[in-house]
Structure formats: structure tokens, C-alpha cells
Structure 1
């Protein structure tokens, strides 16, 4: 049976949100024959999520035993993935019921793509949803388009937290970058410069907006320029080396 691996880095203080994320996985309506596994990798020196995660029969849990950061934690989860596809699901986000099937069907319709970006609506504190307008047309995205967008605008027009990718491609590129910020953008532009992808026409996941978000910390923005430098250097080197799919 074809398998999709969901990768979730988690912290001990996200227990309640993590349960909701797990429930959204349990509600997935997959195409016939497909199954999934949920790989939860807990970051931090005092793990406490084991019993909670084990309540989900499709889960596989492991703890780092120390604080290693989101990129390393995602990569450790990746090292345990058995699926031919991997999907990123942050511990405070939710999948819509057709979220994974839309991505799987896009891979089937476009056999040469290596990534699918699901559009994400913001989930506000009052339970309402807010759509995010994207500066990119839905559908097939040819190789180099996202990379050039980053070069021209200093960012990407989609949220990389909703990505489904071919596992082999992620591993070939070394997984998530050891960057102080934007490790997911670094991976996305690297794979998108080598192979085409697909942007879903509608939302497939919900990005929860809450006070405890890491990105709301006052110091979060200060390291973005350094991360952007790393991403730009990677793009330049990748193109100079003549790498291609």
C-alpha cells in the first residue's frame, strides 16, 4: 500500500493543540489504497507527550531528550519516515478532511512534480477562518518559478508549512536547512528550483493564530536577514553548479 508520512515536531507545552492536530489527521479521507503514519518528534529536555500521542493508532513517537530546534527535529522525524511522500504538519496547525487527498491526487495527475503546496487559511481565536490571498496562480508551478520569486521579492508567495513532498527529494537535498529562520523556505526553494510542483486551488489546512506562536516572539524577526542570505547563497550555488532534475 502507498504510504504518506506526516512529520510533526512538537514541544511539551503544545499538548492540547497536538491532540487537535492528531484528530484532524484521523479525519482524513484518503484515496483508495493509501495509508498514513504520523511521526511525532518531541523537542526539549523533558519529554511528556508520549502517552498522548500513543492514543492515535497511526502515530510513531520519539523524543530528542534535549532542545535541538525545529529544523533538526523535523530532520530526525524524516529519518524515521517510511512513506514515499512526506507532509509537514506543525503541532498547532490542522488539516482539512480532504487536505492529504488533494496532494496525493496532484502527484498522480502530474507524475514529474516533486512538491505540492496546500493553500492555508488562518484559523482565528474566535474559530473563524481568514483566507490569505496568494501572488501565485493555482495549478502546476514550473521549476525555477518560486526560486526566481524569492530572488525578486525576498520571500515566497505560499506558506511552506503546508507542503507535501517526495521523500527522496527531501532527503537528497539534506532535509531542512540549519538556518536560524526560514528553514522551510530554504528547502522549498531548493526543491522548486530543481523540479516542478503544484499549488492547490483551495485551502487544504488551517494555520492557527494564537498568542503562543513561536513566530510572535519579539526576537523572531531579527534573524530573518541572516536566513535570507543563506537561502540566496544556496540558490546561487545550486544554479552555478548546474544541478537539475
Structure 2
């Protein structure tokens, strides 16, 4: 029986048209012998707009649920995720060739519970832009992401949209945070608070920039809400870090 890595994708109407691109990036993945991927797509809502864009493939599980934003959709998707590891892939993003294999290699290193990789922003004209604060490839010590995030205006040195994580740890932390945005950052900080991660310097994700994405919404940058989101993300991470019984074994 093959080992499975579950790729979890939250989608809503405006982003559904990008699902075929995400699917193509999955088809381009070459996994190690004995591994296969499962794609768990969860619509944030119950409409007729997403289904036409869901490819027909026995490895795909599609579900719908009440509107609650991306974090709720991803957490609901966990009910159908059969893999030992869970990889995040937003509906409007694309994996680069080899990403899943690199994630699996990282997660099978002693002590590593989650993995991230370099990101390139994919602009509407097809060009890409990198990030100038990537850490060196290798292990990320427990607490290092939170330290960098608080010192750099709540911007982490690794991108939560690239996360691949042990499913048992993801469930133990309750999935993604119940926030209107930054729910993936909240998960990243929680993982960092209790376990060691990994960063791969080779680009693993093309992060699409387009007007309809949630981070382009003016509400995303509303200072009052942003401050509240960051405060609860930080408080949760520090509370987890302070619990002596949190000793994650890989």
C-alpha cells in the first residue's frame, strides 16, 4: 500500500478558475517510490461555481461547507485527508516541479515536523519576484520564526503558504486558526512554538498575485483588525511555547 501525502486546498468562487493550473502543477510532481498524492479540495461555501473547475481524477476529493473563510475550509478538509503529511496549496498558487519530493525528504529527517520553501510571487504579466530575507537552507530551530516575525513587523522569514506538516501535529494544534485572515500565519507560529522545521532554498511555490485574492482586499490591511490578528497569533504561540509538556518527537 502506498504512502500518501495529502494536498489541501481551500477554494471560493473567484479563485476556482485557477484550479486547473494548480492541478497541472500536481501532475508535474515526481514522488519517491512508494508515495502518491491525494488532493483534498474544500469549497468555502456551497455554490455551483467551483465544481466545473474541479478536474476528474480519482485522487481528488471535493467537498463543500458553510462559508467560514480559508482556515475553516482547510480544517474541514482534514476530515478527508488520508496522508501522514499534509501539504498546503492555495487554489490560485502552483507548486514547482519536485516540491513534494523535497518536502517529503525534509520531513523524514530526524526531529523535523514541518517544512517550508522559497516562494516567488507570480505577477499578472507572468514575471516573478523573489523575497530578499530567505533563511539559509536547513533546520529552523524552535522559536526562530516567532522571533523573526515579531522583529520584522509581523513578517516571517518563511511563507506559510508553503507549509507541509505532519498530520498528527496539525490535528493536535487544531488545524488553522479561526481568524478572518492570517490563519496560516497563526498555524506557522504554533508549529514553530512546539517543534523544529525546515527551509528548502529551492523555489517550491509560485504565489499568484491578482486583484481578487483575499490579501488584496483593503480589509486585510485594516490596522485595527490586523493588530488584533497579530496579537492573538503571538499570544497563542507564546502560550504553546511555555507549556513544558509540548515536546514533539519526530
Band the TM-score falls in, shorter-chain normalisation: over 0.9
Indicate the residue corresponding to 2:99 in structure 1: 99
Indicate the residue corresponding to 1:178 in structure 2: 178
Indicate the residue corresponding to 1:126 in structure 2: 125
Indicate the residue corresponding to 2:243 in structure 1: 241
Does 2:79 align with 1:74? Answer: no
Secondary structure at the aligned position of 1:57 is classed as coil
- Across the two proteins, how many residue pairs are aligned to each other? 243
Indicate the residue corresponding to 1:84 in structure 2: 84
- For residues 89-116 of structure 1, the C-alpha deviation after alignment (integer angstroms, 9 at most, x for no partner) is 00000011111111111122x1321100
Q: By how many angstroms is 1:51 displaced?
A: 4.5
Does 2:208 align with 1:205? Answer: no
Secondary structure at the aligned position of 1:115 is classed as strand
Indicate the residue corresponding to 2:111 in structure 1: 112
Secondary structure at the aligned position of 2:54 is classed as helix
Does 2:62 align with 1:61? Answer: yes
Q: By how many angstroms is 1:5 displaced?
A: 0.2
Q: By how many angstroms is 1:224 displaced?
A: 1.4
Q: By how many angstroms is 1:181 displaced?
A: 2.2
- Separation in 1 of the partners of 2:188 and 2:48? 29
- Separation in 1 of the partners of 2:206 and 2:171? 26
Q: Does the CA contact (< 8 Å) of 2:5 and 2:38 recur in 1?
A: yes
Indicate the residue corresponding to 1:232 in structure 2: 234
Moved more, 123-132 or 97-106: 123-132
Moved more, 168-177 or 45-54: 45-54
Moved more, 198-207 or 232-241: 232-241
- Separation in 2 of the partners of 1:236 and 1:126? 41
Runs of 4+ in structure 1 deviating by more than 4 angstroms, as ranges, are none
Matches for 1:27-66 after TM superposition, within 5 Å: 27-64=28-65, 66=66
Moved more, 78-87 or 14-23: 14-23
- For residues 176-220 of structure 1, the C-alpha deviation after alignment (integer angstroms, 9 at most, x for no partner) is 011232111111111112111100011011001112111111111
Instruction: Give 5+ residue unaligned stretches, structure 2.
Output: none
- Separation in 1 of the partners of 2:37 and 2:171? 19
Secondary structure at the aligned position of 1:161 is classed as helix
- Separation in 1 of the partners of 2:166 and 2:113? 5
Secondary structure at the aligned position of 1:111 is classed as coil
Q: Does the CA contact (< 8 Å) of 2:121 and 2:207 recur in 1?
A: yes
Secondary structure at the aligned position of 1:105 is classed as helix
- Separation in 2 of the partners of 1:8 and 1:239? 28
Indicate the residue corresponding to 1:152 in structure 2: 151
- Separation in 2 of the partners of 1:239 and 1:143? 9
Moved more, 224-233 or 86-95: 224-233
Secondary structure at the aligned position of 1:35 is classed as strand
Moved more, 15-24 or 132-141: 132-141
- Separation in 2 of the partners of 1:240 and 1:107? 25
Superposition RMSD in Å = 1.5
- The alignment's TM-score, normalised by the length of structure 2, stands at 0.92
- For residues 121-169 of structure 1, the C-alpha deviation after alignment (integer angstroms, 9 at most, x for no partner) is 1111122222222242221111121122233333311210011000011
Moved more, 98-107 or 166-175: 98-107
